[in-house]
Structure 1
Amino acid sequence: MSIRFYLRKKFYQLLFTIILMGIIVAFSASLHTSKVGLFHSVLEQIKIFGHNFLHLNEMTIQVGISSTEAPLWGYLKQPYVYSFSILSTSFICIFTLGILFSYGTYLLSPQMRKVVKECLFLLQSIPDVMFIFAVQLFIIWLYKKTNILIVDPVAGFENIYVLPILVVSVLPGIMLFQMTFLAIEEESKKTYVEFAKAKGLSNGWILLRHILRNVVVTLFSNSHFLFWILISNLLVVELLFNIHGYFKLLYTVSNTPDVFFVCLIVLFLPFFFIEAVFNLVAIKVTGKEQSQ
């Protein structure tokens, strides 16, 4: 696949996704109308969305009990940067540690590999909400026993980073490890690996020099699955940790369709472009789009 064709394809995907999001939001906002006026109401909402796209700098949002109007972009900045910092840091941590942990596990004996995989499978079976509650309760219990507060378990009026990043990262990190290790095991069965072993090269060198290169390309091309898991985890974390982040903002503006639509697009665009860049890396290395 040529890069030009891929970029054209992603542009059409982006355009189609934005239009589809607008239709869904417009339809949701028009459900209160009668069946006769539903189609007309959806069209009016879409017209409002299109007008606001042409006048984004003029969009405002109602803030506080008194419903004071404030510029939308100025109000979005703080929660957006905060939530995106947690997501990006979590992604970098789980991607780096997932590859390193997979590398170390591959060098273990078959019996130890089985023990590691079974332990991680047990951790992954724990529901997200239960895991978050368990972490919070452990921190509170430790504080009561030792009078040492290692991290703040609830945000309050200040932004917290360490605990949300940890909680958001753990379960997706386990999933990434399993995905990486499975890809390594499949790659290690290929002919070129057997040939490298016949030449006397060590498992560590073969894994580092050859296998991981192909595995990382596969992970890059499937990164969108990881992004959506991180986003869903952060949605739960912001609620349970009382974090004033971007998803809490989305909930507060859900009754304002045009603002909600713009906020969804602002959330969607960075991950779309990051995933497109990762797929470009896969195309550059392998000559084809891995997700096909």
Structure 2
Amino acid sequence: MYRFPFFDRLLSHTNNVLSVVPDIFYIPISITIVILIYQHTGTLLFAIATSQSSKAIIFPVIVLLVIPTVNSIILLKKLMEAEKVSTYVEFARSKGLYEHQVFANHIMRNLMMGYLINLKQIVWITLSSLLFLERVMNIFGVSVFIFEYNSPVVLFITFMLLYIPIALLFGMTQYVVNHITGRRMV
């Protein structure tokens, strides 16, 4: 996006179309598209729902990736636009640094900080969509434990199995960002 304006425009237009659609509608719209393609061509691109004979794996992953991808692109674009016009970037350019040095040493460092601070929100939005996706596509996943088993112990263990890996990932990410940038993430 930083180096190639054509790619930036293409990504922006695609992202604008996807960002108009509310998150909850990605799933039914994508299912409808796969069914229409199957009706007109006779080719089933993906298994839409899990059954005894087939498991839906690739399609749910692709549909679930739309939400964090759209949110990430919007966030990165806003952060990049703010960083491009900042005074320290202009100062670095005026010192004669090459564009890739300015990007790697100055813009990318602050972009990483801003993105990782907002990544927690993107992860939780994705997890909330996961529950809906599992129910609609008949996938045996986390939603089964949350909705089917009415035991507080099962619910607690399920939430801990979700929370611990995500918390560890964010903790490691904060350590790496602190090490690279020398700044503490909030």
**TM-score, scaled relative to structure 1:** 0.56
Following superposition, the deviation at residue 249 of structure 1 comes to: 2.4
1:169 alignment counterpart: 65
Cα distance in 2, alignment partners of residues 140 and 184 from structure 1: 38
What is the DSSP-based 3-state SS (H/G/I as helix, E as strand, rest coil) of the residue aligned with 1:222?
A: helix
**What does residue 8 of structure 1 align with?**
none
Shift of 1:147: 1.1
Give the superposed CA RMSD: 2.5
1:267 paired residue number: 162
Deviation at 1:284, TM superposition (A): 2.2
Which residue is equivalent to 1:281?
A: 176
What displacement does 1:154 show? Answer: 1.3
Q: Residue 125 of structure 1 corresponds to which residue in structure 2?
A: 20
Report the number of matched residues: 185
For 1:217-236, what aligned pairs fall within 5 Å after superposition?
Answer: 217-236=113-132
Cα offsets for 1:166-218 (capped at 9, x unmatched): 11111221111111111111222223321333355554553245312321233
Q: Work out the CA distance in 2 between the residues paired with 1:145 and 1:213.
A: 48
Does 1:108 pair with 2:9?
no
Contact preservation (8 Å) 2:177, 2:183: yes
Match of 1:257 in 2: 152
1:153–1:241 contact (8 Å) kept in structure 2: yes
The one of 70, 75, 79 equivalent to 1:179 is 75
Give the distance between the partners of 2:42 and 2:100, measured in 1 at CA.
44
Gaps in structure 2 of 5+ consecutive residues: none
Alignment of 1:54-93 (within 5 A): none
Q: 1:151: which partner in 2? A: 46
Map of 1:204-223 to 2, 5 A cutoff?
206-223=102-119
Tell me: CA distance 1:103–1:155, structure 2 relative to 1, closer, same or farther (3 Å): farther
User: What SS does structure 1 have at the residue aligned with 2:85?
Assistant: coil
Percent pairwise identity: 25
CA distance in structure 2 between the partners assigned to 1:147 and 1:209 by the alignment: 51
CA distance in 2, matches of 1:179, 1:117: 12
Query: Is the counterpart of residue 195 in structure 1 residue 91 in structure 2?
Result: yes
Gaps spanning 5+ residues in structure 1: where?
Answer: 1-101
Aligned residue for 2:34? 139
Distance 1:103 1:244, change over 3 A: farther
Residue 114 of structure 1: CA displacement?
6.8
Kept in 1, the 8 Å contact 2:15–2:73? The answer is no
129 and 220 in structure 1: CA distance in 2 versus 1, 3 angstrom threshold: closer
